[in-house]
């Protein structure tokens, strides 16, 4: 066969894989990158509108804070989404025949989210009619949390050398943050022109952007049931015992969540979702993630190697449940071994500097005691919700560039260092901004901000938020890329959902103690503690880099 007769697939296989920024050029010839951008927008829009913008509407309608608190529990759907993440491993029976497993889930969920936003638009909270609004908000929150599971799985499954997981993760973050700007600041501006019901109608229609992304997205190759079954380890009796223990723990967690939701909707004053997460979140995560992970490690230890047969394996109902629920954790524990301790430490600490003081941000910006800054609502909206979002997008873009040019582990480490260090900017503000103020005076940045009629106190806040949000965007891009690469393509939906849930919930552990510290000593010590906590993530990044390098050397030696 001559060169001209060589099949195109073989020619492509002989071409060297693009590297560095050449990946970016190659990737934007792919429809997967556009689909990822649109799907990221589809993920960020309902979160922004139902978790943030909805509260602005309710506040404007003079709805009591206690009633708004009743609706705050919908945020728990995102934190505990791993509980139903195995469900997306099944293909919807009717629509799935046309669109495939991932795309059919996305079509259904995006339509449900659009309808949920429409239901919210039909409500009249000012007249005391909150039932349609509560149903729409809860339905939309459940649907967008489930959509996140499917989008994460799709991103992991379609990544390859042309569109690597690092690039897809960055594009997803860009789409998500653009939606946050649209559904946050954009919705607030639009409300003054067309009213709040119109805003939510527009939000429902904008879910068509995600639907377009789904239609142009390629469907990943379906996972072979035989490939999943080959991951079974241990005797059927051992697997059954572990499965029963896991399902019992999950049933308890579901009961706790359901009881809280019923209590929140039927009692006055309603309990706080934040307090529930702080009090019971660690126990629920322990029962539903840590316990199954330990039991999965037991299966790896006692059960020997996975099944080696290539032939189709018989599956009982218990085996089917095991494949959906426990096989992802068993595969992960078997792949990481004792390195799982390092990985778990990294996941738990990497974003703790943001999560642990996040709820205190607005009291710090707008309060007038303990070193708080005393800014107005309009000033905070400009600095945090508008300027801050653009700075986050800039950080994500820098993170994506770093992932392509210097690699994932360098980017992860730099992100951890920046996240820890930028807490010192906030501490400086709490101490009266001696460093930031001197820097802006010396560099004449005050004059630059003054050209836009921004006074010195607000200019200092905007500079600090710029540093904080650029670091957060950079670290977020690196972290999502790391977690996506850590997930096995066969089990990406469950594994990534578990990772994200752990990262979201860990920040709640120290908030109660930090709140007491702020009351006693002001805000500056809180930011100093957050910076020290960030050093834990730096240490775990170094340990994970060493572990990953050792695993790569072993793999090269075996090859």
Instruction: Name the more confident of 237 and 229.
Output: 237
Band (pLDDT 50/70/90 cuts) for residue 187 is confident
Give bridge partners of residue 124 from the DSSP assignment: 129
Q: How far apart are CA 433 and CA 425, in angstroms?
A: 8
Least confident residue range of 67-81, 230-244, 334-348: 67-81
Average pLDDT over residues 86-107: 83
Task: Using alpha carbons, select from 69, 151, 74, 79 the residue that is nearest to residue 110.
Answer: 151
Average pLDDT over residues 47-62: 82
399 Cβ contact partners less than 8 Å away, ≥ 6 residues apart: 170, 173, 411, 415, 473, 474, 475, 476, 477, 478
CA dihedral 144, 149, 154, 160 (to 10 degrees): 130
Overall size of the chain counted in residues: 559
Instruction: Name the more confident of 374 and 309.
Output: 374
Residues 73, 276: contact at Cβ < 8 Å?
yes
Judged by DSSP in three states, 129 sits in strand
Residues 351, 503: contact at Cβ < 8 Å?
yes
Exposed/middle/buried for 14, CB within 10 Å: 0-12, 13-18, 19+?
A: exposed
What is the reported pLDDT for 315?
Answer: 65
What is the reported pLDDT for 209?
Answer: 94
Least confident residue range of 195-204, 313-322, 327-336, 441-450: 313-322
Residues 339, 547: contact at Cβ < 8 Å?
yes
Asked whether the predicted pLDDT for residue 3 surpasses 60, the reply is no
Judged by DSSP in three states, 452 sits in coil
What is the reported pLDDT for 537?
Answer: 92
Q: How far apart are CA 323 and CA 225, in angstroms?
A: 9
Asked whether the predicted pLDDT for residue 2 surpasses 50, the reply is no
Least confident residue range of 150-154, 270-274, 458-462, 542-546: 270-274
Mean pLDDT of the chain: 82
Q: What is the pLDDT of residues 91-101, one digit of tens each?
A: 776 676 778 88
Judged by DSSP in three states, 124 sits in strand
Band (pLDDT 50/70/90 cuts) for residue 507 is low
Asked whether the predicted pLDDT for residue 105 surpasses 50, the reply is yes
Q: How far apart are CA 491 and CA 296, in angstroms?
A: 14
Query: What's the CA angle centered on 464, arms 459 and 468, to 5 degrees?
Result: 145
Two tokens, residue 242: 């572990």
208 Cβ contact partners less than 8 Å away, ≥ 6 residues apart: 114
Tell me the percentage of the chain whose pLDDT exceeds 70.
83
Q: Which helix (H) or strand (E) covers residue 23, if one does?
A: helix 22-27
Q: What is the largest CA-CA distance in the chain?
A: 81
Torsions phi, psi of 124, nearest 5?
-130, 75
Whole-model pTM above 0.85?
no
Average pLDDT over residues 314-327: 78
Average pLDDT over residues 328-339: 86
304 Cβ contact partners less than 8 Å away, ≥ 6 residues apart: 233, 234
Average pLDDT over residues 248-271: 78
Q: Which ranges of 267-356 does DSSP label H, i.e. alpha helix?
A: 273-285, 291-303, 317-325, 327-336, 339-349, 352-355
What is the reported pLDDT for 25?
Answer: 61
Q: What is the pLDDT of residues 368-403, one digit of tens each?
A: 777 778 888 778 778 887 888 899 999 999 998 999
What is the reported pLDDT for 66?
Answer: 59
Judged by DSSP in three states, 73 sits in helix
């Amino acid at each position: 066969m001559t060169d001209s007769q060589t099949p195109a697939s073989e020619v492509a296989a002989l071409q060297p894989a693009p590297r560095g920024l050449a990946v970016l050029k190659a990737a934007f010839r792919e429809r997967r990158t556009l689909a990822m951008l649109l799907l990221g927008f589809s993920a960020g829009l309902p979160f922004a509108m139902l978790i943030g913008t909805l509260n602005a509407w309710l506040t404007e309608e003079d709805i009591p804070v206690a009633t708004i608190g009743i609706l705050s529990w919908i945020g728990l759907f995102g934190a505990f989404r791993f509980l139903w993440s195995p469900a997306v491993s099944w293909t919807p029976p009717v629509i799935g025949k046309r669109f495939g497993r991932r795309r059919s889930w996305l079509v259904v969920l995006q339509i449900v989210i659009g309808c949920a936003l429409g239901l919210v638009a039909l409500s009249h909270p000012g007249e005391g009619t909150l039932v349609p609004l509560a149903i729409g908000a809860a339905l939309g929150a459940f649907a967008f949390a489930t959509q996140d599971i499917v989008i994460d799985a799709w991103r992991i499954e379609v990544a390859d050398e042309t569109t690597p997981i690092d690039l897809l993760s960055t594009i997803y973050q860009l789409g998500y943050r653009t939606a946050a700007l649209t559904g946050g600041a954009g919705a607030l501006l639009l409300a003054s022109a067309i009213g709040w019901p119109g805003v939510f109608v527009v939000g429902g229609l904008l879910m068509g952007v995600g639907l377009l992304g789904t239609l142009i997205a390629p469907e990943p190759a379906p996972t072979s049931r035989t490939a999943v079954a080959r991951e079974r380890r241990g005797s059927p009796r051992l697997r059954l015992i572990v499965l029963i223990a896991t399902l019992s723990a999950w049933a308890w967690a579901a009961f706790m969540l359901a009881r809280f939701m019923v209590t929140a909707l039927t009692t006055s004053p309603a309990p706080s979702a934040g307090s529930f997460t702080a009090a019971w979140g660690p126990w629920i995560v322990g029962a539903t993630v840590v316990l199954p992970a330990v039991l999965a490690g037991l299966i790896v230890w006692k059960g020997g190697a996975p099944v080696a047969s290539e032939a189709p394996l018989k599956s009982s109902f218990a085996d089917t449940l095991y494949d959906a629920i426990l096989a992802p954790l068993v595969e992960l524990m078997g792949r990481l071994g004792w390195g799982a301790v390092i990985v778990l430490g990294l996941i738990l600490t990497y974003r703790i500097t943001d999560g642990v003081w996040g709820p205190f941000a607005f009291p710090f910006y707008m309060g007038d005691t303990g070193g708080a800054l005393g800014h107005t609502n309009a000033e905070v909206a400009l600095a945090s919700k508008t300027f801050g979002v653009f700075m986050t997008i800039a950080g994500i873009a820098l993170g994506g560039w770093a992932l392509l040019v210097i690699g994932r582990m360098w980017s992860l480490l730099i992100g951890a260092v920046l996240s820890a260090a930028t807490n010192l900017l906030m501490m400086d503000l709490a101490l009266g901004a001696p460093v930031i103020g001197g820097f802006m005076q010396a560099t004449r940045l005050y004059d630059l901000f003054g050209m836009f009629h921004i006074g010195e106190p607000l200019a200092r806040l905007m500079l600090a938020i710029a540093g904080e949000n650029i670091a957060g965007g950079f670290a977020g891009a690196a972290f999502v890329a790391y977690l996506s690469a850590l997930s096995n393509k066969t089990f990406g939906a469950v594994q990534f959902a578990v990772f994200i849930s752990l990262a979201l919930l860990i920040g709640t552990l120290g908030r109660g103690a930090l709140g007491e510290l702020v009351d006693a000593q002001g805000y500056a010590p809180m930011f100093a503690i957050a910076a020290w906590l960030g050093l834990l993530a730096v240490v775990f990044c170094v340990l994970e880099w060493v572990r990953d390098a050792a695993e790569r050397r072993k793999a090269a030696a075996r090859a």
